[in-house]
Amino acid sequence: MKENILITERDFLILKYLWKWKLLSTKAISIKFFPNSNDDTAYKRMMLLTKAGYLKPRYVNDESPRGQIRQQVWGLNRKGFHRILQYLGELKIKGYFSSNSTHDYLATSLHLGEWLMRQPPDSQTWSEQELNSIPTELWPNWVPKSDLHRPDGFTAFNYKNRRHIIAFEVELNVKSSARYEAIAAYYDSCDEINHVIWLVKSTGNYKSIKKHLIKHGLRNTDKHKFISLKDFEKTGWNSNFIESENAALKLQDLILTLPPTMPRQTPPGLLTLEMLDARKRPKITRTCK
């Protein structure tokens, strides 16, 4: 039997955040929504929301080099989705379920990253959930619109009076060569996209994907940058790019971020690693004052 609980304003914000980003770890939810409490407080609240039918745990990291032990993150359940549905605006697809937990969890960690707590002013994100669920005519003007391909999300920010747009691709398995034809055409046609960040399982996968893209006529190879999963799990947004011409460049260098401003906040570059901590019940690391 589902437990009845009073949904607080914070619970409501968590449910909406989980709709946009699909999956978040206990650690990420703790940092974002329980900044003055310890991680166990967040975990216990997530368990209450789960028992009440609002959330559903998902297992991730089956694809991960460190995934010998399946780790758990949080996503919406049907009841949680219907609790916030009327506040999401018009939707063409009323979806909330993650069909590939490991992919979606890594996509959120790559896309959101340090912006979990340090999103600059006058910047925007548009997630895969929003790309798939919200009618195209209701997208912000800055989001590229095309039927050729849908990335795993977009980020936009202004730097030196110029808008920068970054697309994200999590590609854990190489597709057949033919499927990269539309992807190559899409990115060559979208001049407004400055960079495409690819998260791939290995250097071998990077070489295969780039070979397929070039085979199908990709002209602008410079804006495509690749990060290995192993490096990303170790260093987060401080990961170096695989290709030799960008080896000295880090993802952190491309995406504008804010310095730490909150007590006990992690140093720049490490928030992504906190998001990648998918332990169901992390050890208590922060306490109330």
pTM of the model: 0.90
Tokens of 102: 């490991």
In a domain, 102, yes or no: yes
In a domain, 147, yes or no: yes
Question: What digits encode the pLDDT tens for the residues 6-63?
Answer: 999 999 999 999 999 999 999 999 999 999 999 999 999 999 999 999 999 999 975 5
In a domain, 100, yes or no: yes
Torsions phi, psi for 72 (to 5 deg): -125, 135
Is the pLDDT score of 138 beyond 50? yes
In a domain, 288, yes or no: no
What is the model's pLDDT at position 61?
73
Q: Which domain holds residue 146?
A: 9-275
In a domain, 286, yes or no: no
What is the model's pLDDT at position 56?
97
Question: What digits encode the pLDDT tens for the residues 55-86?
Answer: 999 999 755 444 455 689 999 999 999 999 99
In a domain, 2, yes or no: no
- Diameter of the chain by CA atoms? 58
Residue 265 pLDDT grade (very low, low, confident, very high; cuts 50, 70, 90): low
**Structurally, how many domains does the chain consist of?**
1
Q: How far apart are CA 61 and CA 57, in angstroms?
A: 13
In a domain, 287, yes or no: no
The amino acid occupying position 14 is I
In a domain, 13, yes or no: yes
